[in-house]
Amino acid sequence: MGTIKKFEEIEVWQRARTLVQEPYHISSDITFSKDYALKDQLRRAGISIMANIADGFGRRSSKEFANFLNISHASASEVQFHIYIAFDQNFIQKGVFNKLYTECEEISKMLLGFQNYLRKLQ
């Protein structure tokens, strides 16, 4: 894994850590929190981004790490899906939607770039 000694040093993990705070914040709203299924799925998808980066790093194999980054990428897409539902149900405003959607896009690009780098090492 080069000079990275622990997953907390990975920039995309740090970005995902920041991202996951927002779903927790917005889903704590009294109206949103009544939709337990959506609240739970949104939070879990955000957590999954971080968890799969850490899990892949722990595998110590570039090939396996790249596969876990792919799962993280899918989880970022899942967050985007869930915020569409939250927006459509008027649980969040357009500005919050745009902020989260854009952050997920940026994290996804970072994940894809990191995957490509790891696959070249194979």
Whether the Cβ atoms of residue 72 and residue 52 lie closer than 8 Å to each other: yes
pLDDT of 80? 98
Inter-residue contact 49 to 72 (CB < 8 Å): yes
pLDDT score at 2:
57
Is 60 exceeded by the pLDDT of residue 1?
no
Q: What is the DSSP string of 16-70?
A: HHHHHHHHHHHTTSHHHHT-HHHHHHHHHHHHHHHHHHHHHHHH--HHHHHHHHH
- Segment 60-80 shows an average pLDDT of 95
- Per-residue pLDDT, averaged over 65-83, amounts to 97
Statement: residue 27 has pLDDT above 60: yes
Tokens of 87: 């927006």
Average pLDDT, integer, range 13-38: 94
CATH architecture, domain defined by 7-120: Up-down Bundle (1.20)
pTM, full prediction: 0.92
CA dihedral (121, 106, 11, 114) in degrees, to 10, reads 0
Q: Where are the domains of the chain?
A: 7-120
pLDDT of the residue at 122: 75
